[in-house]
Amino acid sequence: MRINTLDDLLRAVKDRPRKRLVVAWANDPHTLEAVNAAVEAGLVEAILVGDGPLMVKVCQEHGLPEERFRMIHAATDTEAAAMAVALVRSGEADILMKGLLGTDKYMKAILNKEQGLLDPGAILSHVSVMEHPGHPRLMIVGDVAVIPEPELKEKLAILGYLVKTAHALGIELPKVAVLAASEQVQPKLRSSVEAALLSKMADRGQIKGALVDGPMALDGALDPESARIKGLVGPVAGDADCLLFPNIEAGNVFYKAGTKLGGAEIAALVMGARVPCVLSSRGDSAKTKLSSIALAALLA
């Protein structure tokens, strides 16, 4: 069954066995409210690593039952990130989540060569699932936050994560648009050339489990009328499920324009590590964090 909304996502995960979530530096109300909601909804069991007295205080101030969580004290945010990663490595947790610490410290713990969560040769990438009021179903997009200027090898990895996420959402044969400024192949633009290469690789069976087309401009990828006017043909034109952005600037602007101006709701995580890693902004709402936990639980 295809999952078309973030509410559908929450309902789908409720019907599955609970996953074990560990949160690094879980000291802020938004994070604790989201984790509490996830536990209350039956999505996960939760371990909180952070400033013990502060976590208890926040729970009391916001009416959150602290007995729902296993709390582990850490003196600093760096220590909390290392301890949370260690719990994943030991098999005590299935999902990692960022609390009130900077992304740089969170990623450093994941990427630690001796004690991190990245296997040799693996590529980390950010995947977002967007529910936009102007679009009839969920959009799966990447990379908007981790890889600044992906090369072809990294775009292959991003594409694989988009497709894996789409499959988990019940889309049997997702349609992937590899984005550029125009549908015309422009040899001087690396994004255009690499989009054409990925499309041809899919045509030849080197990319499986999805329909891939590119280069495509955003309007031709999402809007059937624009695709018709431009004379675009093929199953992806005007009907893409997944958007692969040429670089982080394009992806991040799309992401923030959608959320800040368009009213889009988000679920987001980092893929490529041993477990899904929830990477929401410290300023994200509790709803965004709850949806991100649900997406991680679906993929764990």
Q: Is residue 1 one of the residues assigned to a domain? A: no
CA dihedral angle for residue 55, residue 105, residue 290, residue 66, rounded to 10 degrees = -10
Based on the fold, state whether residues 247 and 135 are members of the same structural domain. Answer: yes
In 10 A of CB 42, how many CB atoms?
A: 14
Question: Strands (DSSP E) along 168-273, which ranges?
Answer: 175-179, 211-216, 242-244, 265-271
pLDDT of residue 186: 96
Which parts of the chain register pLDDT below 70? 282-283
Supply the range of the domain harboring residue 68: 6-120+273-299
pLDDT in tens, 131-142: 999 999 999 999
What are the beta bridge partners of residue 48?
23, 71
pTM, two decimals, is: 0.94
Tokens coding 168:
């988990």
pLDDT of residue 289: 87
pLDDT of residue 285: 73
pLDDT of residue 228: 97
Where do we find the tokens 């950010």? 126
**3-state SS, residue 34:** helix
Based on the fold, state whether residues 135 and 219 are members of the same structural domain. Answer: yes
CATH of residue 139's domain is 3.40.718.10
Number of domains in the chain: 2
pLDDT of residue 282: 62
CATH of residue 70's domain is 3.40.50.10950
pLDDT of residue 283: 66
pLDDT of residue 281: 73
Q: Is residue 267 one of the residues assigned to a domain? A: no
